[in-house]
Chains A and B, each alone.
Chain A
Amino acid sequence: MEFTTQLLYPVDQVLLAVMIFSIMFGMGASLTIDDFKTVIRYPRGILIGFLSQFGLMPFFAYGLAIFFELPPAYAIALILIGCLPGGTTSNMFAYFARGSVALSIAMTTASTILALLMMPILLEFYTAEFTRQISAEMQTAGSGAEFVIPTMNIIMSLVLVLVPVAMGMFLRAKSRVWAKTAEDTAGFMGIIVIIYLIGTAFVRHSGLMLQTPPAIYISAISVGLLGFLFGYWMSRLFKLSPIFQRAISLETGIQNGPIAFAIILLSFAEPVQSQMLWLAILYSTFIVMSSSFITLYYRRVGKFDFEVYKNTSIHNRLFGDEYVSDYPDGFLPKRIENDPSQGLIPAQKRD
């Protein structure tokens, strides 16, 4: 499959830059110092989240790339997506999925910072084989150049996207009201731009959609779904409370797409750039749909335990932190009866 035309026109690139900037700015505007403190408050949740985000996801991406024998550029893009930190949209999905928003925000925060360290290492580790393939191809094509993962550039791109985050946080510290407006506007603008980009990409390259082999579609869709599934089971295995399970699940599957765009545009050149972008576009499109369905599903199954959690935490909010809500025998299902949620729900009985 060849890219005969440019995937993104210069105007699109500008729009994309605006989108990345505004989304990251909006993310910063939603963060406070307290969110960083929350990270320390839920060490267990964060740790398990960390394992699934930087342990499971890159591995799944790699596994899919091997299993489907993806062309190297797509494989690298998929692994790149697998190594990304969590996205801000996951916070919104966590809210509607009756998951812990605090944990979701804390995980997004922690993973965005940690990505500076983890992404270069993970990329180096998982993509070695594919870079060799590309180099070999380039050699046979006679360009004579060697393809390497531009690690430094990636770090620089990451730092660059963190600048608007810091600016957003600065605004938040100065004015809450303006930060809220910025957050809303940024979120809205981000969605408009992404709809525009996806729309135009599909219209301009409708041929591309038909040419794209099913394996690439399946990989782009499954990487998120596997993240949801295993994020959920892993946290369940570690006996986290259901609201944490749902938050970690969504956080694992939903990656920060805009960062992927930024890295691809800033760090990679043709001939791989277009192919990588195309995969990032596919991932971003399908993840919105799959997270919507997952969220609706979680919302349903989590209704009862979330109501218990909510009622208990409101008891503590109004009656004091020492108040113990003791539900009648047999009212709570086994799963949440003795909830070891590490100080998150102090009201529940613990021995």
Chain B
Amino acid sequence: MNNRITAKNMADLYREAANRYKSLPAFATRKKELEWDPVSFEELYERGLNLATGLIEMGVEAREHVGLFGDNRFEWILADYGVQLCGAVDVPRGRDITDSELIYIINHARIKVAFVETKALLDKFIELRHDLPGLKEIILLDPEASAPDLVHKLDNVIQLGAALRKHGDTRAEERIAGIQPDDLFTLIYTSGTTGKPKGVMLTHANMMSQVKVIPIDLNCTDRVLSILPIWHIFERVFEVFSIACGVCTYYSNVRHLADDLKNVEPTFMGSAPRLWESLYQKILKKVDKSHWMRQFLFHTAYFLSRQYMNSIYFLTGKELKQEPASKLKRIVLSPFHAVRWLLVLPVYGFFNVAVLEPVRLSAGGSLKATISGGGALPEEIDRFFNYIGIPVLEGYGMTETSPVIAVRLQDNIVIGTVGPPMENTELRIVDLETREVIYPNSNRPHKGRGVRGEICVKGPQVMKGYYREPDQTKKTIEDGWLRTGDLGMITFNDCLKILGRSKATIVLSSGENLEPEPIEMKLNQSPYIEHCMIVGQDRKYISALVVPNLEGFRDNGISAGNLEELAKKSEAKRIIQQEIKQVISVSGGFKRFEMIQDVRLIPENFTVGEELTNLFKMKRHVIQDKYGDLIDEMYNGKPVGVA
């Protein structure tokens, strides 16, 4: 049953949704735990049209770039409606934007009108006003905050438009009719892990193609919880998708997440690996603290479901296949799996009902699926949730592809991969040096499956280009093929497996190549480690910079007031070294040159905007520069300093 709305452009989609879903709630805002404010599709569209008319009156042209600075809240989506319905383009960014980014984006995108969410952010704009000569009008989103002179309040602009429309103003409708599929709907500046921000130009056609092919079925009875930043395309595509399906989006945040999961009982959400990591740890912690009888029950249930699911994966061919499958092995093993499946089934049935269901309730209990994106999901966590019956699907994409390239399907869960490419999307695996196409290549054995290379994409979701950066655009898109800069391979069951970023690859002085991300991901699961970064480019061996986890140490009896104090303790360093030795070992599947030889503890946490991008990815060059001394120290053999 595919009943989503397909439209020519965003404005068209918004109008269709209002026509079809009418008084159903489109968005809901939390007031108290059990008190939420709904806004219907009709009302949202009506207010959006009023805002659009108000914006036109203020002088916003079609295709003009309008700034939209703020985080998830109803007024954000209302502002987006206004911008889309007057045929303009929004340039979104979160509250945590740095001064330099703000100046760069507003000037580079030539923004004249900007929405600003809060009073605090507004103050920043006023402070920087001399660096923003082009910015003419500011509209304040927060209805509670008071606006100083010359700053418009959102409500006033809406009222202005409403009055005009009452007297027959149809300029907004005319604008909508004039939108072309190739027009931009948004211009998103990526903070990127290197260099200055780049403006990714995404068109209406880009977004509409995504809405059309997202392989999940939702309808008016579903509920979506929104926790990821809305100005990032990953969350935004799901909100637009929700509108197309008549689904209500409930705005939550990290602080209230546990409560909101229970009260809203979402059936779908976009999520990030961090959410699952923390939920995973919370569940395990709760189990560890429970009565021994419950612990026993949980472990039994988990063991059974592992046996059960693995047999199902094997029998349906859903296990990770990085090598060509041996038919003989399959024929020999299949009966054993079938027998195991049958034997486990009744007991699993009981434990699934009695023990695993309450665990599933910690994620609301109604999740039909959730797509995890924005980073790699550690395999153990991925397995854990799929075994206990919370269908975590991993997706892969980037802002430049608006964003989904591949996503695991509900009926085709191959753990360890990001699933097959989306409909209408072509994938290529290309050799990093020779640029030879590895997959699909009929001259290679198995058409090039199982060989790693750079992932390249062609499809309707690929961006128009980087705004005012023709050289960058040319470098990134060659003959319609977008170079992702990520390494991957196609498995033997035709799914994409991500193997790291080509730019992050560390080449040791011995010439060995290694990907730091899998090692870091493994270490990040330790309760003692908050963040860690592997270094060692052009060195003899690799080392690690570690931000220790204050809480993790406290839980294990080593308390410190802050990170600085903790980093100074030799005991802390010793524990971390032991932990690393235990986790990164040859028996654990790591190669000899992937052994970490030295470690330094960092006395302060990484912060978003500084060492981390807004999606919590490490900006490696920033960290390398900032802690250059520590890194040098590890390779000069002088065991002094921080630790």
Contacts and interface: CB of A to CB of B under 8 A. Distances in A.
Contact of B220 (A185, A320, A328): A328
A311 B222 contact: yes
B507 interface: no
Contact of A328 (B20, B25, B34): B20
Contacts of B297: 188
Contacts of B294: 184
A265 B219 CA distance: 54
Contacts of A319: 25, 28, 36-38
Contacts of B34: 317-318
B221 A311 contact: yes
Contact of B23 (A92, A187, A326): A326
Nearest to A187: B354
A327 B264 contact: no
B25 to A, nearest CB: 7
Query: Could you tell me the dominant secondary structure of chain A's interface residues?
Result: helix
Interface in A313-331: 314-315, 317-320, 323-328, 331
A188 B301 CA distance: 13
Interface in B107-132: none
A318 B293 contact: no
A292 B221 contact: no
Contacts of B605: none
Interface residues of A, number: 27
A181 interface: yes
A328 B219 CA distance: 11
Contact of A318 (B264, B291, B366): B264
Contacts, number: 64
Q: How large is the interface on B (under 10, 10 to 19, 20 to 34, 35 or more residues)?
A: 20 to 34
A308 interface: yes
Given A188-B354, A191-B350, A331 B220 contact: yes
A185 to B, nearest CB: 7
Given A315-B25, A317-B263, A292 B349 contact: yes
Contacts of B36: 318-319
Contact of B221 (A92, A308, A320): A308
B293 A185 contact: yes
Contacts of A328: 20-22, 24, 220, 246
B65 to A, nearest CB: 35
Contacts of A324: 23
A314 B264 contact: yes
Interface string A132-165: 0000000000000000000000000000000000
Contact of A311 (B35, B220, B353, B357): B220
A191 B267 CA distance: 32
Contacts of B90: none
Interface in A293-315: 304, 307-308, 310-311, 314-315
A42 interface: no
A97 to B, nearest CB: 11
B400 interface: no
Interface string B240-279: 0000001000100000000000011101000000000000
A96 interface: yes
Nearest to B368: A307
Contacts of B350: 191
Given A181-B291, A188-B297, A310 B265 contact: yes
Contact of B223 (A96, A304, A308, A314): A314
Nearest to B36: A318
Nearest to A311: B221
A188 B349 CA distance: 14
Contact of A327 (B28, B220, B265): B220
Interface string B343-359: 00000011001100100
A185 B294 CA distance: 9
A318 B28 contact: yes
Interface of A: 92, 96, 181, 184-185, 187-188, 191, 292, 304, 307-308, 310-311, 314-315, 317-320, 323-328, 331
Given A311-B221, A318-B264, A327-B24, 8 more contacts: A181-B291, A184-B294, A311-B223, A314-B264, A318-B28, A325-B24, A328-B20, A328-B24
22 contacts: A96-B353, A185-B293, A187-B354, A191-B350, A292-B349, A310-B265, A310-B366, A311-B223, A314-B263, A315-B25, A318-B38, A318-B250, A318-B264, A319-B25, A319-B28, A319-B37, A325-B24, A326-B22, A327-B24, A327-B220, A328-B20, A328-B220
Shortest 8 CB-CB contacts between residues of A and residues of B: A307-B221, A318-B36, A311-B221, A326-B23, A319-B38, A308-B221, A327-B220, A328-B20
